[in-house]
């Protein structure tokens, strides 16, 4: 059956035959603020009831999803209950995305940071603008990578490379990400739509029952790891949300100065 997505304000849904495109739309950079975060924790459960054959996940404008909303994050340092409510939702994003039988293509049109990177990397196929950047800079805002990044990065590129990028927050371009196997493919922005649409058509016109079954098989081990770890990782990030370093990092970013971390 087709599902109505009218209740979603920050994710736009559009059907073209058997292909469902979900566009994160929280201008200007599709930051994973509370409301978008909340919708991401629900929408893949709805998609699981839809009759689409392929999902394309992308971002409106120039970004895929470029991290958190710093102004909101600063306000949340004074509201632990809101912080906790967001982190309770984080595991649902991971679980629902990995459990979805329909293949998901991440159309990474622009920067994908933090949760944005996690969502792109936990999609089945990521095709990216070669000049955009992907990274998980949680540590740069005084946080642990608790939204699934610490699970998926090591599995895709090995622990040595993943440790570097997660411990420093250093991003990669789409071109670099493709070269080391973090994503499937990087193309010039002018070729992105053609590449994504061709891949979506190939899956939609394929043996969709077998494709879904194969995705389920591939994701079994990943879902087991997520079930064992993602709630604990979210809990660890919740601890870092209350740290002095986290508040200092946000204040420094907003003031355009270097943060003075104290390690607490």
- What is the per-residue pLDDT across 116-160, written as a single tens digit (0 to 9) for each? 999 999 999 999 999 999 999 999 999 999 999 999 999 999 999
DSSP one-letter string for 36-64 = HHHHHHHHHHHHTTS--SEEEEEESTT-S
Q: What angle do CA 4, 8, 9 make, to 5 degrees?
A: 140
Domain boundaries, the chain: 11-192+199-209
What backbone phi and psi angles, to 5 degrees, belong to 158? 85, 160
pLDDT tens digit sequence for 5-58: 999 999 999 999 999 999 999 999 999 999 999 999 999 999 999 999 999 999
pLDDT tens figures, 56-93: 999 999 999 998 888 888 888 888 788 888 888 999 99
Which residue reads 């420093």 in tokens? 168
pTM of the predicted protein model: 0.95
- Distance (Å, rounded) from C-alpha 125 to C-alpha 200? 10
Question: Which architecture does CATH list for 11-192+199-209?
Answer: Alpha-Beta Complex (3.90)
Region of residue 97 (left: phi > 0; alpha: psi -120 to 50; beta: else) = alpha
Task: For residue 261, count other CB atoms closer than 10 A to its CB.
Answer: 15
Do residues 165 and 143 lie in contact, with contact meaning Cβ atoms separated by under 8 Å? no
Whether residue 7 has a cis bond before it, omega within 30° of 0: no
């Amino acid at each position: 059956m087709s599902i109505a997505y009218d209740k979603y304000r920050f994710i736009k849904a559009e059907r073209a035959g058997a292909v469902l495109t979900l566009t994160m739309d929280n201008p200007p950079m599709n930051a994973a603020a509370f409301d978008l975060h909340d919708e991401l924790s629900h929408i893949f459960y709805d998609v699981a009831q839809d009759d689409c054959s392929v999902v394309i996940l992308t971002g409106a404008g120039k970004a895929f999803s470029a991290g958190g909303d710093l102004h909101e994050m600063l306000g949340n340092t004074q509201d632990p209950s809101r912080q906790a409510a967001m982190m309770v939702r984080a595991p649902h994003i991971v679980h629902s995305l990995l459990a979805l039988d329909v293949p998901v293509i991440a159309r990474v049109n622009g920067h994908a940071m933090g949760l944005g990177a996690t969502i792109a990397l936990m999609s089945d196929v990521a095709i990216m603008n070669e000049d955009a950047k992907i990274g998980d800079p949680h540590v740069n805002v005084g946080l642990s990578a608790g939204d699934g990044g610490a699970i998926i990065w090591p599995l895709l590129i090995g622990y040595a490379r993943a440790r570097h990028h997660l411990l420093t927050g250093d991003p990669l371009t789409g071109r670099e990400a493709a070269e080391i196997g973090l994503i499937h493919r990087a193309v010039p922005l002018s070729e992105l739509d053609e590449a994504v649409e061709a891949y979506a058509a190939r899956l939609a016109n394929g043996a969709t029952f077998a494709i879904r079954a194969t995705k389920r098989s591939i994701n079994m081990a990943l879902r087991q790891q997520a079930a064992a770890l993602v709630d604990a990782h979210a809990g660890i990030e919740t601890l870092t949300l209350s740290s002095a370093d986290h508040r200092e990092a946000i204040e420094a970013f907003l003031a355009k100065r270097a943060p003075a971390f104290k390690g607490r």
